[in-house]
Amino acid sequence: MKNLHRPFSLVISAIALTIGSCTIPEANPNAPTAQASASAIATNKERPPIGFKQVTVAKDLENPWGMAWLPDGAILITERIGRVKILRNGSLEQIAIAKIPKLFVSGQAGLMDISLHPRFAQNRLVYLTFSTGNFQSNHTSILRVKFDGKALVEPQVIFEVTPSKSGNQHFGSRIVWLPDNTMLIAIGDGGNPPLQLNGELMRKQAQKLNSQLGKVLRLKDDGSIPSDNPFVKTAGANPAIWSYGHRNIQGLFADPTSKQVWSTEHGSRGGDELNLIEAGKNYGWPVVTFSQEYTGGKISKEVSRLNMVDPKLVWTPAIAPSGLLLYRGNIFRDWQGNLFAGGLVSKSVVRIKIEGNKTIVQETIPVGQRVRDVRQGKDGFIYILTDEQAGQLIRLEPM
Protein backbone atom coordinates (compact mmCIF):
# COMPACT_ATOMS: atom_id res chain seq x y z
CA MET A 1 0.00 0.00 0.00
CA LYS A 2 1.44 3.32 -1.00
CA ASN A 3 1.93 6.04 1.58
CA LEU A 4 -0.95 8.45 1.02
CA HIS A 5 0.05 11.08 3.54
CA ARG A 6 3.08 13.10 2.60
CA PRO A 7 3.46 15.78 5.26
CA PHE A 8 2.65 19.40 4.60
CA SER A 9 5.95 20.26 6.28
CA LEU A 10 7.83 19.29 9.39
CA VAL A 11 8.81 21.98 11.82
CA ILE A 12 11.38 22.02 14.58
CA SER A 13 10.04 24.39 17.19
CA ALA A 14 12.14 27.46 17.72
CA ILE A 15 12.24 26.61 21.38
CA ALA A 16 15.15 24.43 20.27
CA LEU A 17 17.12 27.60 19.63
CA THR A 18 16.67 28.77 23.20
CA ILE A 19 16.68 25.55 25.20
CA GLY A 20 19.57 23.78 23.56
CA SER A 21 20.53 21.49 20.75
CA CYS A 22 18.87 18.12 20.26
CA THR A 23 19.75 16.49 16.98
CA ILE A 24 17.31 14.35 15.08
CA PRO A 25 17.98 11.03 13.37
CA GLU A 26 19.68 11.12 10.01
CA ALA A 27 17.05 11.54 7.29
CA ASN A 28 16.68 9.17 4.40
CA PRO A 29 16.16 10.49 0.85
CA ASN A 30 12.38 10.07 1.06
CA ALA A 31 12.00 11.77 4.41
CA PRO A 32 10.50 15.22 4.83
CA THR A 33 12.87 17.98 5.80
CA ALA A 34 12.54 19.93 9.01
CA GLN A 35 12.93 23.65 9.08
CA ALA A 36 13.81 25.87 12.00
CA SER A 37 11.39 28.56 13.05
CA ALA A 38 12.15 32.22 13.41
CA SER A 39 10.93 32.98 16.91
CA ALA A 40 10.84 31.30 20.29
CA ILE A 41 7.22 32.34 20.66
CA ALA A 42 5.70 31.87 17.22
CA THR A 43 6.81 29.93 14.19
CA ASN A 44 5.45 32.57 11.84
CA LYS A 45 5.19 36.35 11.68
CA GLU A 46 1.41 36.38 11.66
CA ARG A 47 -0.07 38.30 14.58
CA PRO A 48 -2.97 36.80 16.51
CA PRO A 49 -6.20 37.70 14.66
CA ILE A 50 -7.65 39.24 17.81
CA GLY A 51 -6.43 39.98 21.31
CA PHE A 52 -7.28 37.45 23.98
CA LYS A 53 -6.76 36.93 27.66
CA GLN A 54 -6.47 33.91 29.94
CA VAL A 55 -9.07 33.74 32.70
CA THR A 56 -8.80 31.19 35.52
CA VAL A 57 -12.25 29.68 36.09
CA ALA A 58 -11.26 26.87 38.49
CA LYS A 59 -8.19 26.10 40.56
CA ASP A 60 -6.80 23.66 43.13
CA LEU A 61 -7.47 20.65 40.92
CA GLU A 62 -5.11 17.78 41.79
CA ASN A 63 -3.44 16.61 38.58
CA PRO A 64 -6.57 16.94 36.43
CA TRP A 65 -6.59 14.88 33.23
CA GLY A 66 -9.80 15.15 31.21
CA MET A 67 -13.01 17.15 30.98
CA ALA A 68 -16.47 16.83 29.46
CA TRP A 69 -19.40 19.23 29.14
CA LEU A 70 -22.88 18.36 30.35
CA PRO A 71 -25.87 19.64 28.34
CA ASP A 72 -26.51 22.39 30.91
CA GLY A 73 -22.96 23.75 30.53
CA ALA A 74 -21.53 22.20 33.70
CA ILE A 75 -18.12 20.55 33.31
CA LEU A 76 -17.03 17.15 34.62
CA ILE A 77 -13.28 17.04 35.36
CA THR A 78 -11.21 13.98 36.25
CA GLU A 79 -8.29 14.00 38.68
CA ARG A 80 -5.67 11.30 38.18
CA ILE A 81 -5.85 10.25 41.83
CA GLY A 82 -9.35 8.88 41.16
CA ARG A 83 -11.76 11.75 41.72
CA VAL A 84 -14.31 13.45 39.47
CA LYS A 85 -15.32 17.05 40.11
CA ILE A 86 -18.07 19.17 38.62
CA LEU A 87 -17.83 22.86 37.82
CA ARG A 88 -21.28 24.41 37.77
CA ASN A 89 -22.11 28.12 37.93
CA GLY A 90 -18.57 28.92 39.04
CA SER A 91 -18.62 26.44 41.94
CA LEU A 92 -16.31 23.40 41.95
CA GLU A 93 -17.49 20.34 43.86
CA GLN A 94 -16.47 16.71 44.12
CA ILE A 95 -19.14 14.26 43.00
CA ALA A 96 -19.57 10.72 44.19
CA ILE A 97 -18.30 8.03 41.87
CA ALA A 98 -18.87 4.31 42.14
CA LYS A 99 -15.75 2.39 43.10
CA ILE A 100 -13.24 2.10 40.27
CA PRO A 101 -12.06 -1.53 40.23
CA LYS A 102 -8.38 -2.00 41.15
CA LEU A 103 -7.45 1.58 40.25
CA PHE A 104 -3.66 1.85 39.85
CA VAL A 105 -2.27 5.33 40.60
CA SER A 106 1.47 5.74 40.03
CA GLY A 107 3.56 7.88 37.68
CA GLN A 108 1.42 8.32 34.56
CA ALA A 109 -1.18 5.82 35.79
CA GLY A 110 -4.54 6.62 37.34
CA LEU A 111 -7.94 7.97 36.33
CA MET A 112 -7.58 9.63 32.96
CA ASP A 113 -10.05 10.68 30.27
CA ILE A 114 -13.79 11.28 30.52
CA SER A 115 -16.30 11.38 27.67
CA LEU A 116 -20.07 11.55 27.34
CA HIS A 117 -21.98 9.21 25.08
CA PRO A 118 -23.20 11.07 21.96
CA ARG A 119 -26.77 10.37 23.13
CA PHE A 120 -26.08 11.34 26.73
CA ALA A 121 -29.29 13.36 26.96
CA GLN A 122 -31.22 10.12 26.46
CA ASN A 123 -29.04 7.49 28.19
CA ARG A 124 -26.93 9.49 30.72
CA LEU A 125 -23.86 7.36 29.95
CA VAL A 126 -20.35 8.55 30.83
CA TYR A 127 -17.10 6.80 29.87
CA LEU A 128 -13.87 6.91 31.88
CA THR A 129 -10.44 5.49 31.11
CA PHE A 130 -8.24 4.31 33.95
CA SER A 131 -5.27 2.08 34.70
CA THR A 132 -5.97 -1.05 36.67
CA GLY A 133 -3.65 -3.52 38.40
CA ASN A 134 -0.29 -2.86 40.05
CA PHE A 135 3.26 -1.96 39.09
CA GLN A 136 4.06 -5.53 38.03
CA SER A 137 0.94 -6.04 35.90
CA ASN A 138 -1.45 -3.35 34.67
CA HIS A 139 -3.47 -2.18 31.70
CA THR A 140 -5.89 0.50 30.52
CA SER A 141 -9.60 -0.15 31.05
CA ILE A 142 -12.83 1.62 30.13
CA LEU A 143 -15.45 2.17 32.81
CA ARG A 144 -19.02 3.02 31.82
CA VAL A 145 -21.21 4.74 34.41
CA LYS A 146 -24.45 6.70 34.54
CA PHE A 147 -24.70 10.26 35.80
CA ASP A 148 -27.87 10.66 37.84
CA GLY A 149 -27.39 14.39 38.37
CA LYS A 150 -25.50 13.97 41.62
CA ALA A 151 -23.26 10.93 41.26
CA LEU A 152 -21.70 8.51 38.77
CA VAL A 153 -23.45 5.20 39.39
CA GLU A 154 -23.98 1.71 37.91
CA PRO A 155 -20.30 1.08 37.08
CA GLN A 156 -19.43 -1.46 34.42
CA VAL A 157 -15.97 -2.22 33.05
CA ILE A 158 -16.75 -2.68 29.36
CA PHE A 159 -13.23 -3.12 27.98
CA GLU A 160 -9.75 -4.09 29.19
CA VAL A 161 -6.66 -3.68 27.03
CA THR A 162 -4.50 -6.73 26.34
CA PRO A 163 -1.80 -7.70 26.97
CA SER A 164 -1.10 -6.44 30.47
CA LYS A 165 2.25 -4.79 31.02
CA SER A 166 4.52 -3.65 33.84
CA GLY A 167 5.57 -0.17 34.95
CA ASN A 168 3.62 3.08 35.15
CA GLN A 169 4.05 4.63 31.70
CA HIS A 170 2.29 5.10 28.34
CA PHE A 171 -1.39 4.40 28.87
CA GLY A 172 -2.67 6.72 26.13
CA SER A 173 -6.35 6.81 27.11
CA ARG A 174 -8.03 9.56 25.05
CA ILE A 175 -11.57 8.78 23.87
CA VAL A 176 -13.38 10.33 20.89
CA TRP A 177 -16.62 9.44 19.13
CA LEU A 178 -17.24 8.85 15.44
CA PRO A 179 -20.50 9.77 13.63
CA ASP A 180 -21.74 6.17 13.86
CA ASN A 181 -21.54 6.28 17.69
CA THR A 182 -18.49 4.03 17.83
CA MET A 183 -15.55 5.24 19.89
CA LEU A 184 -11.85 5.49 19.23
CA ILE A 185 -9.51 5.05 22.19
CA ALA A 186 -5.77 5.70 22.06
CA ILE A 187 -3.57 3.15 23.81
CA GLY A 188 0.13 3.70 24.53
CA ASP A 189 2.93 1.25 23.75
CA GLY A 190 3.45 0.36 27.41
CA GLY A 191 6.62 2.23 28.32
CA ASN A 192 10.25 3.10 27.72
CA PRO A 193 13.35 0.91 27.83
CA PRO A 194 14.36 -1.06 29.78
CA LEU A 195 10.74 -2.22 30.21
CA GLN A 196 10.18 -5.50 28.39
CA LEU A 197 7.35 -7.83 27.49
CA ASN A 198 7.94 -11.43 26.45
CA GLY A 199 11.70 -10.92 26.35
CA GLU A 200 11.82 -7.85 24.10
CA LEU A 201 11.46 -4.10 24.50
CA MET A 202 7.91 -3.14 25.37
CA ARG A 203 7.72 -0.51 22.63
CA LYS A 204 7.92 -3.19 19.94
CA GLN A 205 4.30 -4.01 20.81
CA ALA A 206 3.27 -1.01 18.70
CA GLN A 207 4.05 -2.93 15.48
CA LYS A 208 2.44 -6.22 16.58
CA LEU A 209 -1.07 -6.72 15.23
CA ASN A 210 -1.84 -9.31 17.91
CA SER A 211 -1.33 -6.70 20.65
CA GLN A 212 -3.51 -3.72 21.56
CA LEU A 213 -0.53 -1.73 22.88
CA GLY A 214 0.63 1.21 20.74
CA LYS A 215 -2.69 1.37 18.89
CA VAL A 216 -5.87 3.32 18.30
CA LEU A 217 -8.79 0.97 18.95
CA ARG A 218 -12.37 1.24 17.70
CA LEU A 219 -15.20 -0.08 19.86
CA LYS A 220 -18.96 -0.02 20.07
CA ASP A 221 -20.52 1.86 22.98
CA ASP A 222 -20.86 -1.38 24.96
CA GLY A 223 -17.18 -2.29 24.52
CA SER A 224 -17.76 -4.87 21.80
CA ILE A 225 -15.87 -4.80 18.51
CA PRO A 226 -17.44 -3.51 15.26
CA SER A 227 -17.53 -6.06 12.46
CA ASP A 228 -16.15 -3.54 9.93
CA ASN A 229 -12.90 -2.76 11.76
CA PRO A 230 -9.93 -2.92 9.34
CA PHE A 231 -8.25 -6.04 10.77
CA VAL A 232 -11.31 -8.14 11.62
CA LYS A 233 -10.54 -10.56 8.78
CA THR A 234 -6.74 -10.49 9.14
CA ALA A 235 -5.44 -13.77 10.53
CA GLY A 236 -3.71 -13.33 13.88
CA ALA A 237 -4.60 -9.64 14.20
CA ASN A 238 -6.57 -8.19 17.08
CA PRO A 239 -9.95 -7.13 15.66
CA ALA A 240 -10.22 -4.02 17.87
CA ILE A 241 -7.31 -2.28 16.12
CA TRP A 242 -8.09 0.83 14.04
CA SER A 243 -4.51 2.06 13.48
CA TYR A 244 -1.10 1.06 14.81
CA GLY A 245 2.53 2.08 15.19
CA HIS A 246 1.86 4.65 17.94
CA ARG A 247 4.04 5.47 20.94
CA ASN A 248 1.70 7.33 23.28
CA ILE A 249 -1.20 9.39 21.93
CA GLN A 250 -2.64 11.81 24.49
CA GLY A 251 -4.26 14.23 22.07
CA LEU A 252 -7.11 12.89 19.93
CA PHE A 253 -9.88 14.78 18.13
CA ALA A 254 -12.62 13.57 15.80
CA ASP A 255 -13.95 16.50 13.75
CA PRO A 256 -17.65 16.02 12.93
CA THR A 257 -17.46 18.60 10.13
CA SER A 258 -14.59 17.15 8.07
CA LYS A 259 -14.96 13.59 9.43
CA GLN A 260 -11.19 13.62 10.01
CA VAL A 261 -9.44 12.29 13.12
CA TRP A 262 -6.32 14.10 14.33
CA SER A 263 -3.85 13.03 17.00
CA THR A 264 -0.82 14.33 18.84
CA GLU A 265 1.68 11.75 19.99
CA HIS A 266 4.54 11.86 22.44
CA GLY A 267 7.95 11.14 21.02
CA SER A 268 10.86 10.04 23.18
CA ARG A 269 13.58 12.69 23.22
CA GLY A 270 12.04 14.99 20.64
CA GLY A 271 10.02 13.72 17.70
CA ASP A 272 6.54 14.55 18.98
CA GLU A 273 4.01 14.18 16.17
CA LEU A 274 0.79 15.57 14.74
CA ASN A 275 -0.95 12.87 12.69
CA LEU A 276 -4.07 12.42 10.62
CA ILE A 277 -5.46 9.05 11.71
CA GLU A 278 -7.03 6.68 9.20
CA ALA A 279 -8.27 3.13 9.47
CA GLY A 280 -5.76 0.36 8.92
CA LYS A 281 -2.71 2.62 8.64
CA ASN A 282 0.73 2.09 10.22
CA TYR A 283 2.21 5.22 11.79
CA GLY A 284 5.68 3.77 12.12
CA TRP A 285 6.71 3.72 15.77
CA PRO A 286 9.37 2.56 16.62
CA VAL A 287 10.55 1.52 13.14
CA VAL A 288 10.54 5.10 11.85
CA THR A 289 10.82 8.10 14.16
CA PHE A 290 12.47 11.47 14.65
CA SER A 291 12.89 10.60 18.35
CA GLN A 292 16.13 9.77 20.10
CA GLU A 293 16.69 7.61 23.15
CA TYR A 294 16.49 9.47 26.44
CA THR A 295 20.00 8.17 27.10
CA GLY A 296 21.21 9.47 23.73
CA GLY A 297 21.58 7.81 20.35
CA LYS A 298 19.13 6.91 17.64
CA ILE A 299 16.05 4.78 18.11
CA SER A 300 15.94 4.21 14.35
CA LYS A 301 18.03 5.35 11.39
CA GLU A 302 14.80 5.85 9.43
CA VAL A 303 12.39 8.76 9.63
CA SER A 304 10.19 7.63 6.74
CA ARG A 305 9.33 4.35 5.04
CA LEU A 306 7.01 3.22 2.28
CA ASN A 307 3.64 2.02 3.62
CA MET A 308 4.13 3.90 6.89
CA VAL A 309 2.33 7.21 7.32
CA ASP A 310 4.48 10.30 7.80
CA PRO A 311 3.46 12.82 10.45
CA LYS A 312 2.01 16.15 9.39
CA LEU A 313 4.17 17.95 11.91
CA VAL A 314 7.09 17.08 14.18
CA TRP A 315 8.28 18.94 17.27
CA THR A 316 11.93 18.66 18.33
CA PRO A 317 12.69 19.36 21.16
CA ALA A 318 9.54 17.81 22.57
CA ILE A 319 6.54 19.83 23.64
CA ALA A 320 5.07 16.64 25.20
CA PRO A 321 1.67 17.05 23.52
CA SER A 322 -1.48 16.29 25.48
CA GLY A 323 -4.98 17.39 24.58
CA LEU A 324 -6.05 18.38 21.07
CA LEU A 325 -8.82 20.55 19.68
CA LEU A 326 -9.99 21.54 16.21
CA TYR A 327 -11.84 24.78 16.81
CA ARG A 328 -15.33 25.18 15.30
CA GLY A 329 -16.70 27.92 17.55
CA ASN A 330 -17.82 31.47 16.84
CA ILE A 331 -15.99 33.33 19.61
CA PHE A 332 -12.67 33.31 17.74
CA ARG A 333 -13.88 33.38 14.14
CA ASP A 334 -10.40 33.77 12.64
CA TRP A 335 -9.36 30.56 14.39
CA GLN A 336 -12.13 28.39 12.96
CA GLY A 337 -10.64 25.17 11.59
CA ASN A 338 -7.35 25.66 13.47
CA LEU A 339 -5.88 22.93 15.65
CA PHE A 340 -4.85 23.64 19.23
CA ALA A 341 -2.34 21.25 20.84
CA GLY A 342 -1.52 21.33 24.53
CA GLY A 343 2.07 20.90 25.70
CA LEU A 344 3.15 19.46 29.05
CA VAL A 345 6.85 20.26 28.75
CA SER A 346 6.41 23.43 26.70
CA LYS A 347 3.76 24.66 29.17
CA SER A 348 1.85 26.13 26.27
CA VAL A 349 -0.84 25.65 23.66
CA VAL A 350 0.24 25.58 20.02
CA ARG A 351 -2.19 26.94 17.43
CA ILE A 352 -1.75 25.21 14.07
CA LYS A 353 -3.31 26.56 10.89
CA ILE A 354 -3.43 24.29 7.85
CA GLU A 355 -4.22 25.88 4.50
CA GLY A 356 -4.97 23.87 1.40
CA ASN A 357 -2.82 20.94 2.50
CA LYS A 358 0.26 23.05 1.89
CA THR A 359 0.86 25.72 4.51
CA ILE A 360 1.31 25.25 8.22
CA VAL A 361 1.27 28.21 10.58
CA GLN A 362 2.24 27.77 14.21
CA GLU A 363 1.70 30.18 17.06
CA THR A 364 2.60 29.39 20.65
CA ILE A 365 0.30 30.60 23.42
CA PRO A 366 2.35 30.52 26.66
CA VAL A 367 0.42 29.23 29.67
CA GLY A 368 3.22 28.74 32.20
CA GLN A 369 1.79 25.44 33.45
CA ARG A 370 1.77 21.86 32.13
CA VAL A 371 -1.15 21.68 29.70
CA ARG A 372 -2.96 18.35 29.92
CA ASP A 373 -6.12 19.00 27.89
CA VAL A 374 -7.58 21.57 25.49
CA ARG A 375 -11.29 21.66 24.66
CA GLN A 376 -13.95 23.87 23.13
CA GLY A 377 -16.74 24.55 25.59
CA LYS A 378 -20.43 24.58 24.79
CA ASP A 379 -20.16 28.38 24.99
CA GLY A 380 -17.61 28.51 22.14
CA PHE A 381 -14.66 29.50 24.33
CA ILE A 382 -11.40 27.54 24.43
CA TYR A 383 -10.63 25.84 27.75
CA ILE A 384 -7.18 24.76 28.93
CA LEU A 385 -6.68 22.21 31.74
CA THR A 386 -3.30 22.28 33.51
CA ASP A 387 -1.70 19.20 35.06
CA GLU A 388 -0.27 20.42 38.36
CA GLN A 389 -0.68 19.54 42.03
CA ALA A 390 -2.83 22.65 42.11
CA GLY A 391 -4.03 22.52 38.52
CA GLN A 392 -6.28 25.09 36.91
CA LEU A 393 -8.99 25.35 34.31
CA ILE A 394 -8.27 28.39 32.14
CA ARG A 395 -10.58 29.98 29.59
CA LEU A 396 -9.35 31.98 26.60
CA GLU A 397 -11.51 35.07 26.10
CA PRO A 398 -11.36 37.94 23.60
CA MET A 399 -9.96 41.18 25.00
Distances in Å between the alpha carbon of 101 and those of 145, 152, 252?
A: 13, 14, 25
Residue 100 lies in a domain: yes
Residue 5 lies in a domain: no
Peptide bond before 194: cis, by omega within 30 degrees of 0?
yes
CA dihedral 25, 41, 7, 9 (to 10 degrees): -90
- The whole-model pTM stands at 0.89
Residue 1 lies in a domain: no
Positions marked catalytic? 170
Domain of residue 315 covers: 10-398
Of 268, 220, 209, residue with least CA distance to 243: 209
pLDDT at position 19: 29
Would you say 61 and 77 are in contact if contact means Cβ atoms under 8 Å apart?
Answer: yes
Could you tell me the maximum CA-CA distance found in the chain, to the nearest angstrom?
58
88 phi, psi to nearest 5 deg: -140, 125
At 71-109, the pLDDT tens digits run: 999 999 999 999 999 999 999 999 999 889 999 999 999
- Cα 134 vs. chain centroid, distance in angstroms? 23
- What is the C-alpha separation between 210 and 218, in angstroms, rounded? 15
Distances in Å between the alpha carbon of 288 and those of 13, 28, 98, 320, 341?
A: 20, 10, 42, 18, 23
Measured from the Cβ of residue 180, the count of other Cβ atoms closer than 10 Å reads 10
Query: In this structure, which long-range contacts are made by residues 70-75, counting pairs with CB atoms below 8 Å and at least 24 apart in sequence?
Result: 70/116, 70/120, 70/147, 71/120, 71/121, 71/378, 73/377, 73/378, 73/379, 75/377, 75/383, 75/393
> Using CB atoms within 10 A of its CB, is residue 337 exposed (0-12), middle (13-18) or buried (19+)?
middle
pLDDT at position 357: 65
Residue 35 lies in a domain: yes
pLDDT at position 74: 98
Would you say 250 and 288 are in contact if contact means Cβ atoms under 8 Å apart?
Answer: no
For the chain, give the mean pLDDT: 89
pLDDT at position 50: 58
Residue 307 lies in a domain: yes
Residue 160 lies in a domain: yes
Number of domains in the chain: 1
132 phi, psi to nearest 5 deg: -125, 145
- What is the C-alpha separation between 144 and 113, in angstroms, rounded? 12
Whichever domain contains 57, its CATH number is 2.120.10.30
Report mean pLDDT in 10-residue bins for the chain, 399 residues.
40 32 30 31 41 95 98 98 97 94 97 99 99 98 97 98 98 98 99 97 99 99 99 99 99 97 97 97 98 95 97 95 98 95 98 77 94 98 98 96
- Per DSSP, the three-state class of 395 is strand
Residue 73 lies in a domain: yes
Would you say 16 and 40 are in contact if contact means Cβ atoms under 8 Å apart?
Answer: no
Distances in Å between the alpha carbon of 24 and those of 17, 27, 147, 314?
A: 14, 8, 47, 11
pLDDT at position 98: 87
Would you say 143 and 132 are in contact if contact means Cβ atoms under 8 Å apart?
Answer: no
